[in-house]
């Protein structure tokens, strides 16, 4: 969550891997399927990939994710929405850039807020950071 003066000047980022969209039956226009405004308390929302079948072209998707996540750090978060293979790629990239660590925000449907899940792929069972 945004807490310090540094966070206010350079807010943490909340990476939305792929914003799900749905076609409006009346206008035929695509519109966002989810509201990510509750994630704003954790940092500045950043959509990484456009909607659509990006996973069918993994190289361009990987390059786009690498560019968006290039400064990923312990201050940042990932919301795991979109195509599962793209979420997996983003997690791999984030952990590679951040010494095996990433923070995920899991949406709680009941409270319409987010629950923090911290991941360290190098941490062994029973070991603390």
Chain segment 83-119, per-residue pLDDT in tens = 899 999 999 999 999 999 999 999 888 888 899 999 9
Chain segment 5-53, per-residue pLDDT in tens = 566 677 899 999 998 888 888 998 888 888 888 888 999 999 999 887 7
| pTM check: above 0.95 | no
CA-based radius of gyration for the chain = 15
CB atoms within 10 A of CB 106: 10
Alpha carbon of residue 31 to chain centroid: 19
Alpha carbon of residue 60 to chain centroid: 18
Residue 7's pLDDT is what?
62
Query: Whose structure tokens read 């039956």?
Result: 25
Residue 88's pLDDT is what?
94
Instruction: For residue 118, give both structure tokens.
Output: 């911290």
Residue 31's pLDDT is what?
85
């Amino acid at each position: 969550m945004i807490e310090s003066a540094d966070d206010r000047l350079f807010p943490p980022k909340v990476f939305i891997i792929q914003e799900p969209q749905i076609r409006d039956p009346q206008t035929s226009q695509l519109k966002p399927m989810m509201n990510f405004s509750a994630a704003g308390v954790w940092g500045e929302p950043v959509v990484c990939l456009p909607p659509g079948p990006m996973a069918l072209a993994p190289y361009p998707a990987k390059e786009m994710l690498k560019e968006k996540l290039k400064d990923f750090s312990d201050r940042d978060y990932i919301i795991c929405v979109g195509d599962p293979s793209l979420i997996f790629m983003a997690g791999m990239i984030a952990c590679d850039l951040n010494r095996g660590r990433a923070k995920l925000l899991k949406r709680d449907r009941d409270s319409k807020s987010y629950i923090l899940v911290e991941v360290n792929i190098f941490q062994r069972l029973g070991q603390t950071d």
